[in-house]
Structure 1
Amino acid sequence: MSRFSFRRAAAVQAPEPAPALTVVEAAPTPAARTRSIDDELLDMRLRLHARLIEEIDLSKLGELDEGEMRRQVRRLVGDFAKDGRLALNTLELDQIGAEVFDEMVGLGPIEPLLKDESINDILINGPNQVYVERRGELELTPVRFRDNDHLLRIVNRIVAAVGRRIDESSPMVDARLADGSRVNAAIYPITIDGACVSIRKFSKKPLSFERLVGVGAMPACVSEFLQGAIKARVSTVISGGTGSGKTTLLNAMSAAISHGERLITIEDAAELQLQQPHVVRMETRPPNIEGKGEIRQRELVKNALRMRPDRVILGEVRGEEAFDMLQAMNTGHEGSMATIHANTPRDAITRLEQMVAMGGLKLTPESIRGQIASAVGMIVQVMRLSDGKRKVMSVSEITGMEGQVVQMQEIFAFHRIGTDAEGNVHGEFRATGLRPKCLDEMNRRGILYDTANFDPQRAL
């Protein structure tokens, strides 16, 4: 007898005979034949899933380990297929068993995509179209859902796990998976062709500076400079477009922070993977169904300053919390870090100025720029190139004010030379020849850096 607890004693009755999987239409095309078989396999999987839910006492699932659960589901699938006289081979039974298991306790059809470490993004455009991004290129997958209701069940399973909700009155949601992967979902009435889900996956092993150097995101000397600046408590903003690798770089840079410091992270959906032992993670909260109870980043930043942090790390600055972040950097929390959406370092300064103004404070543009110049020490610009690769494009230092303009000097830059026939972008990193002001602070803290790397005559 299975270790599963059944609601009905006695042998499981066979389900109604399912239609044979063999396509009988006259001379079908290979594509039509494949789609017909896929349709029937999908229908069968969902029928078996519904039947297993009826037969199995789900309260007993927690008593079994995953391997035992998979074996029991596989056995029951085999029994159902045999009783239903379904012509399936062992490989097909194993596949259906795994899919039924994923439907029961995982995220259904997309579970294999989540386990594929070569995939960076999963983009679901309704029940019949699922794209993934591998190595910067989009690919259409054969994965699909039975209908929009099937997709909505998976979406609700995701958002319910983190205490969020999604329905017609609140048709957009930001959430996260257990591994920290970022999820955004939108449903009717704001989407026309079914629910749309975007999942930004994060590696189980966060990218380190060594790995970023290895994949060509930056040269070793730039990596060493960034690590030295972090140890010297230079407040840093990472700027870039969507999907450019801002959070990945922030994770890598945070690894250089001393394990003796107290860190507080503030995010819309917790996804940072800091390696230090003393980390307090905070997350915003959307309003409830009555439109109350919302907790924004600004309130979290204010509260974080009362929690004795050594550094505050914001997943992304996108609104009026920018002023509180600048205040934190100016009042004893040097070395704090954040990301921001901007195309150039100068644009990042302009966006910070605009976001401070969003707070409704009666500050002149000159005073806002003064706050930025005294708070932010370095801006690191990242970009996703046309070949899909992410690179650090510029490392710039803010040196102060001159008149009404925030002064900034570029230390390192990536120069694009050209693109080959296969679409790969070629270029080289070079120093500008300017000696950064923060080098003095690095030297005072005993952080040695080879000044020969600032020679603009050689490629890095």
Structure 2
Amino acid sequence: MNQHDATALAAVRSAVGRDLAASSSQGLADLIRSEHLAYGETAIHELATAARHEIYGAGPLQRYLDDPQVTDVLVNGCDSVWIDRGRGLEPVPSGFASDDQLRALAVRLAAQAGSRLDDSSPTVDGRLPDGTRLHALLAPVSESPALISLRTLRQRAITLPELVASGTIPKQWEPVLRAIVDRRLNFLVSGATGTGKTTLLSALLSLVPTTQRIITIEESREIRPNHPHVIALETKKANVEGRGAIGQSELLRNALRMRPDRIVVGECRGGELAEMLSALNTGHEGGCGTIHANSACDVPARLHALGALSTMTPEAVTLQSAAAIDIVLHVRREPHPAWASTRYVAELALLEQVGGTLQVRPALTWHNRDELTAGPGYPELLERLK
């Protein structure tokens, strides 16, 4: 953005403050004409678009959020912006004229998310009105004046055949995943941040019969299956007085009273693990959720760590997890120039109790998207899918 554009946008912002009717695209164009801020319809249209993005959208980042292929927009500084179009991170022009403009955008986006971002509260995690997930930090927490991470919200659920076509799932596994949903097995999707856990979960929930009611519980809604009967519950943060917070554990208790057919916990983070395991052990079949783990084999350790946060003993975690969770689906993210997608399902494993300990038994493995192998748990997997 050059100095002339910045000056014009500042004039538009000032004029909008005097004319609230200018919030629409046409209203902004009319205001620009009346203020003589640009001449020629092309220049007026470009300035109106830039002004709308600057005042009501994500400023210079809005063009990337409008790209349907972009999943993440990451701002490391005034002159360092990266996006992910599904093939790994790539640098793009930032469009920021100064550090002050970047910081001002971070503060404004936080306000849109209903949060406060300033020197006394330099971190924010929230959701923008269009569903985009926002995380932002201000100096001195970060070396940069501001860091912004945006994760776009998919307008529709990616289907299972689309995941197969993109190379996320091997074609041979599609019938297995369909059977997991049809047989109402409880499962966890594990993986690191950004590996596509929510995308896979939404695709599988889209296979649930329309006669069943799905209740999702998340901090910020991201699971959006193509299904006519989805009830989405979101946690609520405390207000400035420290009151009114509603966590996942409370939402899960309420969900049990809402006649659910499938209960979905967007991410197990701690105290809600006890309620989730309890729900899955009381006849609510077909439940699922996501969990952060480095591999399927690491899921038991992760469950024990989360159980400790909810005051569960290791023995209780082992007994309840083995009884509640049937299968672990592990997803990875590995960029490769020959792959259409960097994300793929690497393992299907059974979760079970062996000799008093919680373990996973590999059933199917996709080694680096090359070799498909059946593990020691494959015969038992076939038995569970009958």
In the other structure, the counterpart of 2:75 is: 124
- Tell me: CA distance 1:50–1:223, structure 2 relative to 1, closer, same or farther (3 Å): same
* Structure 2: distance between partners of 1:93 and 1:47: 15
In the other structure, the counterpart of 1:26 is: none
* Structure 1: distance between partners of 2:202 and 2:294: 20
In the other structure, the counterpart of 1:403 is: 355
Post-superposition shift, 1:168? 3.0
- Tell me: CA distance 1:91–1:429, structure 2 relative to 1, closer, same or farther (3 Å): farther
Post-superposition shift, 1:371? 1.0
Post-superposition shift, 1:52? 3.0
- Are positions 1:205 and 2:148 aligned together? no
* Structure 2: distance between partners of 1:207 and 1:138: 21
SS, match of residue 282 in structure 1? strand
- Tell me: CA distance 1:210–1:118, structure 2 relative to 1, closer, same or farther (3 Å): same
1:80-229 superposed matches below 5 A: 80-82=37-39, 93-229=44-180
> Is the CA contact (8 Å cut-off) linking 1:158 and 1:175 kept in structure 2?
no
Post-superposition shift, 1:149? 4.3
SS, match of residue 71 in structure 2? strand
Count how many residue pairs are aligned between Structure 1 and Structure 2.
382
Which has more radius of gyration? 1
1:267-282 superposed matches below 5 A: 267-282=218-233
For structure 1, which runs of at least 5 residues remain unmatched after alignment?
A: 1-37, 83-88, 417-425, 444-460
- Tell me: CA distance 1:435–1:428, structure 2 relative to 1, closer, same or farther (3 Å): closer
Deviation track 1:118-149 (CA, whole Å, cap 9, x = no partner) reads 32210112333322123333222222334444
* Structure 2: distance between partners of 1:248 and 1:397: 21
SS, match of residue 317 in structure 1? coil
- Tell me: CA distance 1:436–1:75, structure 2 relative to 1, closer, same or farther (3 Å): farther
Residue type of the alignment partner of 2:92: T
In the other structure, the counterpart of 1:393 is: 346
For structure 2, which runs of at least 5 residues remain unmatched after alignment?
A: none
- Tell me: CA distance 1:311–1:241, structure 2 relative to 1, closer, same or farther (3 Å): same
SS, match of residue 44 in structure 1? helix
Match of 2:202 among 234, 238, 251: 251
> Is the CA contact (8 Å cut-off) linking 1:48 and 1:100 kept in structure 2?
no
- Are positions 1:296 and 2:247 aligned together? yes
Post-superposition shift, 1:71? 4.5
> Is the CA contact (8 Å cut-off) linking 2:107 and 2:118 kept in structure 1?
no
> Is the CA contact (8 Å cut-off) linking 1:181 and 1:271 kept in structure 2?
no
In the other structure, the counterpart of 2:366 is: 414
Match of 2:10 among 43, 47, 71: 47
In the other structure, the counterpart of 1:428 is: 371
> Is the CA contact (8 Å cut-off) linking 1:166 and 1:172 kept in structure 2?
yes
Identity of aligned residues (%): 33
> Is the CA contact (8 Å cut-off) linking 1:107 and 1:154 kept in structure 2?
yes
* Structure 2: distance between partners of 1:207 and 1:179: 19
Please report the TM-score for the alignment, with normalisation by the length of structure 2.
0.90
Post-superposition shift, 1:271? 1.6
SS, match of residue 38 in structure 2? helix
Post-superposition shift, 1:317? 0.9
In the other structure, the counterpart of 1:310 is: 261
- Tell me: CA distance 1:143–1:202, structure 2 relative to 1, closer, same or farther (3 Å): same
- Tell me: CA distance 1:216–1:41, structure 2 relative to 1, closer, same or farther (3 Å): farther
> Is the CA contact (8 Å cut-off) linking 2:33 and 2:44 kept in structure 1?
no
> Is the CA contact (8 Å cut-off) linking 2:22 and 2:31 kept in structure 1?
no
Alpha-carbon RMSD across the aligned residues, in angstroms, is 2.5
SS, match of residue 80 in structure 1? coil
- Tell me: CA distance 1:159–1:54, structure 2 relative to 1, closer, same or farther (3 Å): closer
In the other structure, the counterpart of 1:348 is: 299
Residue type of the alignment partner of 1:80: L
Post-superposition shift, 1:283? 1.3
- Tell me: CA distance 1:188–1:287, structure 2 relative to 1, closer, same or farther (3 Å): farther
Deviation track 1:359-408 (CA, whole Å, cap 9, x = no partner) reads 124x2x2232111111110000100014271110001122x322122343
- Are positions 1:370 and 2:319 aligned together? yes
- Are positions 1:264 and 2:207 aligned together? no
> Is the CA contact (8 Å cut-off) linking 1:129 and 1:144 kept in structure 2?
no
Match of 2:279 among 303, 321, 328: 328
- Tell me: CA distance 1:189–1:330, structure 2 relative to 1, closer, same or farther (3 Å): same
SS, match of residue 119 in structure 1? coil
Residue type of the alignment partner of 1:413: T
* Structure 2: distance between partners of 1:433 and 1:370: 22
Please report the TM-score for the alignment, with normalisation by the length of structure 1.
0.76
Residue type of the alignment partner of 1:408: V
Match of 2:234 among 280, 283, 308: 283
SS, match of residue 381 in structure 1? strand
> Is the CA contact (8 Å cut-off) linking 1:124 and 1:197 kept in structure 2?
yes
* Structure 2: distance between partners of 1:147 and 1:53: 22
Residue type of the alignment partner of 2:326: G
* Structure 1: distance between partners of 2:365 and 2:384: 22
* Structure 2: distance between partners of 1:266 and 1:148: 37
Q: Which has the higher contact order (CA 8 A, sep 6+)?
A: 2
* Structure 1: distance between partners of 2:120 and 2:345: 41
Match of 1:72 among 16, 30, 39: 30
* Structure 2: distance between partners of 1:272 and 1:199: 16
Q: Larger deviation: 92-101 or 210-219?
A: 92-101
> Is the CA contact (8 Å cut-off) linking 1:397 and 1:436 kept in structure 2?
no
- Tell me: CA distance 1:304–1:281, structure 2 relative to 1, closer, same or farther (3 Å): same
Residue type of the alignment partner of 2:30: Q
Residue type of the alignment partner of 2:11: L
- Are positions 1:240 and 2:240 aligned together? no
SS, match of residue 183 in structure 1? strand
- Tell me: CA distance 1:190–1:70, structure 2 relative to 1, closer, same or farther (3 Å): same
